[in-house]
Amino acid sequence: MNDTTQQDEGIDWAGFRALFPDEDARRGSRGRLMRLAALGLWVAALVIAFLTWNGAAGRAYLPLQLPYFASGGLTAVILTLVGCSLFVGSFLADLVEAFVGRAEE
């Protein structure tokens, strides 16, 4: 076998890449904004969890700690869940944008 006449055929990724536009074209996309909002909510949840722990740690009597855990802990959990929902939704928004862009072509 002569290696110069035989060409290595690779996978054509053009169809797959067409689903996802360039990063420059997606700079202001809805999915990116949703991911940034999710990150902000997660940071807020961490701050609230720290403030909750710090407030409860300053109380030696257990019944005085419970309001901190009930309000701060619940708020941190809700912010985390909303952030997770936005994060998953951001990828769905990207897929919708990609398929709508393909349908318009």
Give domain status of residue 21, yes or no. Answer: no
pLDDT at 46: 96
What 3-state DSSP class applies to 40?
helix
Give domain status of residue 64, yes or no. Answer: yes
Q: How far is 103 from 105, CA to CA, in rounded Å?
A: 5
pTM above 0.85?
no
Give domain status of residue 90, yes or no. Answer: yes
Per-residue pLDDT tens over the stretch 1-19: 555 555 556 777 777 777 6
| Stretch 13-42: mean pLDDT | 76
Domain hosting 69: range is 29-104
Give domain status of residue 74, yes or no. Answer: yes
Q: How far is 74 from 48, CA to CA, in rounded Å?
A: 10
Flag whether pLDDT at 21 surpasses 60.
yes
pLDDT at 22: 64
Question: How many domains is the chain partitioned into structurally?
Answer: 1
Flag whether pLDDT at 104 surpasses 70.
no
Give domain status of residue 24, yes or no. Answer: no
Give domain status of residue 60, yes or no. Answer: yes
Per-residue pLDDT tens over the stretch 48-101: 999 999 988 888 888 888 888 889 999 999 999 999 999 999 999 888 888 876
Give domain status of residue 20, yes or no. Answer: no
Q: Give the CA distances from residue 61 to residues 56, 58, 65, 66, in Å, rounded to whole numbers and listed in that order.
A: 9, 9, 7, 9
Give domain status of residue 11, yes or no. Answer: no
